Amino acid sequence: MSGSRRMLPRDLVSEAIGGLLARPARVALTVLGTVIGVGALVATLGLSKTAGNQIVGRFDALSATDVVVSPSARAGGARAAVLPWDAEPRLRRLNGVAAAGTLSDVDVRGALVRSVPINDPLAAGAIQLPMKAASPGLFRAVHARLATGRLFDAGHSRRADRVIVLGPNAARRLGITRIDQQPAVFVGDRLYAVIGLLSGVRRHASLLGAAIMPEGTARREFGLRAPALAQVETRIGAVELIVRQAPVALSPVDPGLLKVASPPDPRQLRGEVKNDLNALFLLLGGVSLLVGAIGIANVTLVSVLERVGEIGLRRALGAGRRHIAAQFLLESTAMGLAGGVMGASLGTLVIVGVSASKTWTPVLDPWVPLGAPALGALIGLISGTYPSLRAASLEPVEALRAGT
Amino acid sequence: MDGAAPALEVLPPRGTAAVAPVVELRSIGRTFGADPPVIALRDVTLALRHGASLAIVGPSGSGKSTLLNILGCLDRPSSGTYLFDGIDVGVLSDDQRAALRAHGIGFVFQTFNLLAHRTALENVMLSEVYRGVRPDGRAERAHEALERVGMGHRANFLPTRLSGGEQQRVAIARALMGDPALLLCDEPTGNLDSVNTESVLSLFDDLGDAGLTLVIVTHEEAVAHRARRRVHIIDGEMTEEQVE
């Protein structure tokens, strides 16, 4: 008559399953909430992982090697003279830098730009044109492509030659299409030789509509005090290194005077995309799970109330309170487990379906489909706790009075 | 097998009884509620030897079901001592009393209390679930119990397809399966017509002849007269009717 091992685990399981199979339709409907909840969670986790994988695959090599150094707010903002004139050679000495150059806006004090007067009534007169000053290495750093002519070099800058390179839009506005006739433009009243026309740039699109002169020239002619920014192209994977080293190389006394703009770490970017996607669907999954849990709790409670007579009979047959509690707890846990298994399958199917339609490679952490049924079972266990305790607390005499 | 059970006996001094009675109630009282308390049983003293058969008769609300619940360890008396097979039930925990029910006591109810979704055989098999008996041969043992009540041919029927008398026989088979020391029947024929009543009562006669200790609560005199001993309960007070 030992009390502790009176009910065999095998009997407990078969009684719980018997209790569920007696009401299959109700169990199926109850489980549905958990199926949807777990399915949404699995699909969300899998899809964001899958999509995150795609983002890394498509990550642009160009933007992944882009570093821009400019004066920090503490130094006094963009106009502060912090960057040294030899920023370009200093940066190029750093291991991991593929190309570097400095770029500044030139304040021409309202001077208008016009091409050398020719007798063309349709040609535009004097226009306002953004004026930029660049170090020679900038053209490589922004992937500038030359349409015709040549770029200026360190010699032009050193001698402060009055030469200019035009972006394609600026050239069109000035009506300059060819170099072979040695065109020139007036900036205010000073004449500049146009030595080259660009056809495109891949960074700093503002260059497309600008006239670009050597830094040395801008310094002498317009009193440019310091470069406004340094553009660096790093080798792949060297961004983090350059981000740390560039301010020290350019402003050894106080690197804090410079700020560095770099592309977000791809891993971080993937994380952010994932978070955006997840936030909504995880919320959806969470709400579905909550509703599913309440459903299981509700149905188990109703089932307890309906089966009061059966509980009384079982107590009369010798069931202890814990046997009754264990049976109802196992029933609700089994419902949660079934919901978890079905939800995991459904979620996996959704991932595969979406991936197939987008020709993605489906990616899923193995613990997701394995953990999902466990989550479902846990939800069933928690939901069943209160109804099971209710069932166990019934007095056998009262319960028997209800009949079956 | 002591055939002629003694009348309501004055408790023998301790140690004189060669074999402890199956059931021994000493001054059992049961009150319900608080203010004013309802006295359901007062000072009930009773002893049943192995093989005794007792009918408890009384109008509804007289306390006979309360007495049956106490005998079945489903309810605790407010006062007095209950010895089952020599064990003082009052000191047992809830769980130990449940174990006692599993191994020592069979119940038969007025409403049969069969699980509607299970066959007769499965209903009988339920009897062993809380006894820790290995499932090997459980179906065979259940079948034997059904044979014993003449229901072997209906083993795979659902209760809804059985007559009331047949359902009650299945319920009796369930109660008999573990060879309980005591069979408690609460208005076993209350929901049966006269033909079915007769078949169930003759089954009880056979079981009594076979040596089962039987207690039947009923308000039908005809049923009560089949038992060897009869007690009446009125307003919680028990008196024994002298037989022979």
Look at the block and give the residue holding tokens 């940066």: A91
pLDDT at residue B11, as a whole number: 41
pLDDT at residue B9, as a whole number: 40
How many whole angstroms separate alpha carbon A210 and alpha carbon B77?
103
Query: What are the structural domain ranges in chain B?
Result: 50-76+102-241
Would you say A324 and A392 are in contact if contact means Cβ atoms under 8 Å apart?
yes
How many whole angstroms separate alpha carbon B27 and alpha carbon B79?
7
Mutate to test the interface with A, among B130, B134, B170, B183 (most CBs of A within 10 A): B130
Residue B13 has pLDDT above 70, yes or no: no
Would you say A110 and A187 are in contact if contact means Cβ atoms under 8 Å apart?
no
pLDDT at residue B65, as a whole number: 87
Instruction: Name the helix (H) or strand (E) containing A316.
Output: helix A308-316
Q: Per-residue pLDDT for chain A (404 aa), expressed as one digit of tens each?
A: 444 468 889 999 999 999 899 889 989 998 998 899 899 889 888 888 887 776 655 556 666 788 899 888 887 776 778 889 999 999 999 998 999 999 999 988 888 888 766 666 665 577 888 999 999 999 999 999 999 999 999 999 999 999 999 999 998 888 888 888 888 888 888 889 999 999 988 888 889 999 999 999 999 989 888 999 999 998 888 888 888 899 999 989 888 888 888 766 655 555 555 566 667 778 888 888 898 899 889 989 999 999 999 999 999 999 999 999 999 999 999 999 999 999 999 999 999 998 888 888 888 888 988 899 999 999 999 999 999 999 999 999 989 887 66
How many whole angstroms separate alpha carbon A274 and alpha carbon A281?
11
Query: Worst-scoring range by mean pLDDT, A114-118, B111-115, B119-123?
Result: A114-118
What would the pLDDT profile of B129-186 be if each residue is shown by its tens digit?
999 888 899 999 999 999 989 999 999 999 999 999 999 999 999 999 988 999 999 9
Mean pLDDT of the region B24-44? 89
SS3 at position A78: coil
Provide the mean pLDDT of chain B: 87
The answer to whether the Cβ–Cβ distance between A404 and B114 falls below 8 Å is: yes
pLDDT at residue A49, as a whole number: 80
What would the pLDDT profile of B38-52 be if each residue is shown by its tens digit?
889 999 999 999 989
- The structure tokens listed for B112 are 């049969």
Mean pLDDT of the region B17-37? 83
Residue B33 has pLDDT above 60, yes or no: yes
Would you say B46 and B231 are in contact if contact means Cβ atoms under 8 Å apart?
yes
Angle between helical axes of A321-358 and A266-306 (0-180°, round to 10):
140
Q: How close does chain B come to A305, measured CA to CA in Å?
A: 15
The answer to whether the Cβ–Cβ distance between B103 and A5 falls below 8 Å is: no
Specify the pTM: 0.66
Give the pLDDT band (50/70/90) at residue B16. Answer: very low
How many whole angstroms separate alpha carbon B50 and alpha carbon B231?
17
Residue B5 has pLDDT above 60, yes or no: no
SS3 at position A213: strand
Locate the chain B residue with the closest alpha carbon to A396: B74
The amino acid sitting at A190 is R
Would you say A138 and A103 are in contact if contact means Cβ atoms under 8 Å apart?
yes
Q: State ipTM.
A: 0.89
Residue among B99, B109, B114 whose CB faces A3 most closely: B99
What CATH code would you report for B50-76+102-241?
3.40.50.300
- For chain A, list residues whose CB is within 8 angstroms of any CB belonging to chain B: 1-3, 5-8, 10-11, 15, 18, 21-22, 309-310, 312-323, 396-397, 400, 403-404
